[in-house]
Chains A and B, each alone.
Chain A
């Protein structure tokens, strides 16, 4: 009975984990939920686990539960791998934004400052030759 309660607690935790994973990686959430529910069923109806294990050629129902647990662990590992990739996506976007901003900044710094026309008080500004030609 103690083992059954402990396993139930563990598998309930996996169900909650699967629910949270479902939002980002639907396939992992679905598979982990399926595996956890199957595990819960076999924990409380072990004779069915034994019958299914015998049918599958595994031998004992407890071995079948161990195998299900291994599958759940692998799915959790795969999910962690995918989460790492999502984190890498975010790091990439951040690094890209930093790189482009720095490049634009250094181009701005490198370009010579605009020359201001000297203001001539009391005199009409001279008209450049190009404008004179344009008026002809």
Chain B
């Protein structure tokens, strides 16, 4: 483990990812990290595959959404006295090598959030043009609404210290959590750094990813959330 971080946990939110989640967990375990997989009410054998590969599995009794699953994983990791938490996608598009880079960034004093960015180095492979346009719009919206000068907004690779994790409380159960987390980071006034990460898009991960129509749902969710206490 690096410097001041002694007990990092990796949180993986998974819904019907049985074909790939075992490989993802094995990769993280080989890299030497404790991992909790939140099985978000899957109808396949996602939880069993993750358990066999060496993860702690927390099973939602019903499907709640990725945001809810991540918050459950964060809560669980904090109960295990994690001093750093890394969120990691279950569809195999992230590399376990990125975890060390994110944790190394957190080792700098005063940094509480390290956010993975696909666009800092341009190393991301197979990113389709439509996805690039959608992400550019999301980046513009996030910069305007949070004031954070981020270069990537909907990247599932993030690391946070225990203090950072306690400042986060996701209430957007579905995909709008990615914007919500940035809003909460901005409100917490804790320090953020971006770390270049490589995302490997495959046919499988693209099939699971967001579509243009989802962007509208995310905007409605974010707007509705502001109306009630």
A70-113 Cβ-contact flags toward B at 8 Å (1 or 0): 00000000100110011011011001101110111001000000
Query: B206 within 8 Å of A by Cβ?
Result: no
Q: Which of A82, A91, A99 contacts B58 (CB 8 A)?
A: A99
Number of interface residues of B (CB under 8 A): 23
Q: Which of B59, B68, B225 contacts A103 (CB 8 A)?
A: B59
> Shortest 7 CB-CB distances between A and B: which pairs?
A103-B58, A96-B72, A82-B228, A25-B228, A99-B58, A92-B68, A99-B60
Query: Residues of A at under 8 Å CB distance from B?
Result: 24-28, 78, 81-82, 85-86, 88-89, 91-92, 95-96, 98-100, 102-104, 107
Measured between beta carbons, the chain A residues less than 8 angstroms from B60 are 95-96, 99
Q: Is B173 in contact with A92, judged by CB distance below 8 angstroms?
A: yes
Q: Is A103 in contact with B224, judged by CB distance below 8 angstroms?
A: no
CA distance A24 to B228 in the complex (A): 7
Q: Is A92 in contact with B227, judged by CB distance below 8 angstroms?
A: no
Measured between beta carbons, the chain A residues less than 8 angstroms from B62 are 91, 95
B61, B71, B228: most-surrounded residue (chain A CB, <10 A): B228
CA distance A104 to B75 in the complex (A): 12
Q: Is A88 in contact with B72, judged by CB distance below 8 angstroms?
A: no
CA distance A88 to B58 in the complex (A): 19
